[in-house]
């Protein structure tokens, strides 16, 4: 890869991937297209390795003219597509943006890639970053999802991601677009916007606010440290088979309550004199998420066998690193908390519960 378009590179996983790639491929020219929605943050892009190779463009993946221009100006050979509306609760309260960005935005990117790479697919790759949520919800005794699991999305978010996955595969099958898809489980780590479970726990604990547990808290997610996800995506782009899907997961499947307790213990250890310790006393059960998926788990057999990838971070060490990152970056947290868009969301989502 020489000229890489990363979409959504100012968001949580995208910003981690931009760092990863600039470090791993110091010669690459990386164009980072991000609209800077509430979830995108230029502060996620300070102190990049090889920053001279990073070109940030604030813009919308739905803007066909802009996307065309980027393909033409930068002779793009690789697209790594992260940009999306990503939060399930927001998709329940306002699905339109999910349809527009996740489906139509992906369509715009695919059209440009098709046009610019037609007849010359050699050395090109369109990589679409997707989620395990397209597969629906597992019962307690079901085997984990894998690449053959039938799609069964159940929230507006997962339905929009499923739709974008289908479009990518259709372009690969119909037009021979050199594409790959990854479906990954829940990520955690540095730069995650404090609307998702793990940063909500950490940031609420720091303020002595309730830790909101949806329903009975016995839902299960398969957690993966974000750095391991970046490494998996890179391997798929470099060595993954065109037209294929790779499932990615963390081999960690605690209940939400278990993960909350673990984080509270790490915080108790790091902040023994906090007026809010023991932090588990902040746990508060609230009204469940409508249509809440009960259990996710992912088999990583294919990516392990074909590309030699497996998670390197254990949940215990990954959570410690994550808590330590938030404690070391309180300004980053405060800047977000001081934005009205953040306060509005907290009131809108949690006020109703
Ligand atoms: P995020 O919400 O933190 O970041 C999304 C980024 O996309 C933001 O920087 C935002 O500004 C940008 N964006 C949104 N709409 C845009 C538009 N129209 N044009 C350009 N940029 C736009 O999301 P994330 O958690 O980093 O997730 C990134 C991708 O990975 C998403 O596609 C998501 O579906 C997928 N994914 C996430 C997880 C997870 O656990 N977070 C797991 C599996 C897959
Ligand atoms: O599985 C991959 C998906 O993981 C990604 O595709 C999504 O982009 C990402 O947001 C994430 O979705 P989840 O809905 O699983 O993540 P979230 O952090 O919102 O919630 C994790 C679990 O915690 C879920 O069971 C809901 C619960 N929860 C969440 C919040 C925000 C709570 O109990 N309380 C909360 O305040």
Phi and psi torsions of 80, nearest 5°: -120, 110
Which of 85, 132, 231, 293 is labelled catalytic? 132
Q: Is the pLDDT of residue 210 over 90?
A: yes
Domain 3-185+223-251+295-313, CATH 3.40.50.720 — does that match? Answer: yes
Q: Beta partners for 283?
A: 211
Q: Which of 13, 44, 96, 134 to mutate to test the pocket of ligand 1 (most atoms within 8 A of CB)?
A: 13
Spacing, Cα 186 to ligand 2 middle (Å): 7
Centroid of ligand 2 to alpha carbon of 68 (angstroms): 34
Q: How far apart are CA 147 and CA 247, in angstroms?
A: 6
Please tell me the distance between residue 173's alpha carbon and the centre of ligand 2 in angstroms.
Answer: 32
In the DSSP assignment, the letter for residue 155 is S
To test ligand 1's pocket by mutation, which of 31, 37, 345 has the most ligand atoms within 8 angstroms of CB?
A: 37
Question: pTM of this prediction?
Answer: 0.99
Over residues 279-302, mean pLDDT: 98
The best mutation among 6, 60, 83 to test binding of ligand 1, ranked by most ligand atoms within 8 Å of the C-beta, falls on: 83
Nearest-ligand number for the alpha carbon of 254: 2
Length of the chain: 353
| 132 in active site | yes
Cite the residue boundaries of each domain of the chain with CATH code 3.90.25.10.
Answer: 193-220+254-292+314-345
Please, where in the chain does CATH 3.40.50.720 lie? 3-185+223-251+295-313
Helix (H, G, I), strand (E, B) or coil at 184: strand
Output the six-digit token pair for 36.
């800077």
User: What does R_g of the chain's alpha carbons equal in angstroms?
Assistant: 20
Residues with a CB atom less than 6 Å from ligand 2: 86-88, 131-133, 185-186, 196-197, 200, 212-214, 219, 221, 256, 289, 296
Q: For residue 194, which ligand has an atom nearest its CA?
A: 2
Taking residues 225-252, report their average pLDDT.
98
Please say if the pLDDT value at position 353 is more than 90. Answer: no
Q: Does the beta carbon of 67 lie inside 6 Å of ligand 1? A: no
Q: What whole-number percentage of the chain has pLDDT above 70?
A: 100
| Nearest residue (CA) to ligand 2, atom 16 | 196
Question: Roughly how many angstroms between the first and final C-alpha of the chain, as a whole number?
Answer: 47
**229 band by pLDDT with thresholds 50, 70 and 90:** very high
188 is catalytic: no
Amino acid 303: pLDDT: 98
C-alpha span between 317 and 48 (Å, rounded): 24
Confidence class for position 59, pLDDT limits 50, 70, 90 = very high
Question: DSSP readout, 68-87?
Answer: HHHHHHHT--EEEE--S---
Ligand nearest to the CA of 58: 1
The per-residue pLDDT for range 145-164, each reduced to its tens digit, is: 999 999 999 999 999 999 99
* pLDDT > 90? residue 124: yes
The angle at the Cα of 149, spanning 145 to 154, to the nearest 5 degrees, equals 85
Is the model's pLDDT at 340 over the cut of 90? yes
CATH of region 193-220+254-292+314-345, choose from 3.90.25.10, 3.30.200.20, 3.50.50.60, 1.10.3720.10: 3.90.25.10
Ligand 1 neighbourhood includes 222 CB (under 6 angstroms): no
Give the Å distance between the CA of 34 and the centre of ligand 1: 10
- Residues facing 126 on adjacent strands: 79, 179
Token representation of residue 54: 């990073």
| pLDDT of 333 | 98
Q: pLDDT by residue (tens digit) across 21-30?
A: 999 999 999 9
pLDDT (average), residues 170-181: 98
Q: Is 85 a catalytic residue?
A: no
- pLDDT at 66 exceeding the cut of 90: yes
- Average pLDDT value for the chain: 98
Closest ligand to C-alpha of residue 184 is 1
pLDDT at 352 > cutoff 90 = no
Q: What's the sign of the alpha-carbon dihedral 58, 61, 62, 67?
A: positive
* Residue of the CA atom closest to atom 8 of ligand 2: 86
Q: What is the atom index within ligand 1 of the atom nearest the CA of 133? A: 43
Strands (E) across the chain are located at: 3-7, 29-34, 54-58, 78-81, 125-131, 179-184, 187-188, 211-214, 224-225, 245-248, 283-286
Q: Above pLDDT 90, what percent of the chain?
A: 99
Q: pLDDT tens digit string along 82-115?
A: 999 999 999 999 999 999 999 999 999 999 999 9
């Amino acid at each position: 890869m020489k000229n890489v378009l990363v979409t959504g590179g100012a968001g949580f996983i995208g910003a981690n991937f931009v760092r990863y790639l600039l470090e791993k491929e110091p010669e690459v020219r990386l164009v980072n297209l991000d609209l800077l929605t509430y979830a995108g943050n230029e502060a996620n892009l300070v102190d990049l390795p090889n920053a001279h190779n990073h070109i940030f463009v604030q813009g919308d993946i739905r803007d066909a003219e802009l996307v065309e221009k980027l393909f033409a100006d930068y002779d793009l050979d690789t697209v790594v597509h992260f940009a999306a509306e990503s939060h399930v609760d927001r998709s329940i309260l306002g699905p339109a943006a999910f349809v527009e960005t996740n489906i139509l935005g992906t369509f715009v990117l695919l059209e440009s890639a098709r046009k610019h790479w037609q007849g010359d697919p050699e050395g090109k790759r369109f990589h679409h970053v997707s989620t395990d949520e397209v597969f629906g919800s597992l019962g307690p005794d079901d085997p984990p999802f894998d690449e053959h699991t039938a799609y069964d999305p159940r929230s507006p978010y997962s339905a929009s991601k499923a739709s974008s996955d289908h479009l990518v595969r259709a372009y690969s099958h119909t037009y021979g677009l050199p594409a790959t898809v990854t479906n990954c489980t829940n990520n955690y780590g540095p730069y995650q916007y404090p609307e998702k479970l793990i940063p909500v726990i950490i940031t609420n604990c720091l303020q002595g606010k309730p830790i909101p547990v949806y329903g009975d808290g016995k839902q299960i997610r398969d957690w993966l440290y974000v750095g391991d996800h970046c490494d998996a995506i890179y391997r798929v782009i470099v060595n993954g088979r065109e037209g294929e899907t790779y499932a990615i997961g963390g081999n960690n499947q605690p209940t939400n309550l278990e993960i909350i307790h673990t984080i509270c213990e790490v915080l108790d250890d790091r902040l023994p004199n906090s007026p809010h310790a023991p932090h588990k006393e902040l746990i508060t059960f609230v009204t469940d998420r409508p249509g809440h998926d009960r259990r996710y788990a992912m088999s990583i057999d294919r990516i392990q066998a074909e590309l030699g990838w497996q998670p390197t971070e254990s949940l215990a060490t990954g959570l410690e690193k994550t808590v330590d990152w938030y404690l070391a970056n309180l300004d980053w947290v405060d800047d977000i908390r001081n934005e009205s868009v953040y306060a509005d969301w907290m009131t809108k989502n949690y006020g109703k519960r």
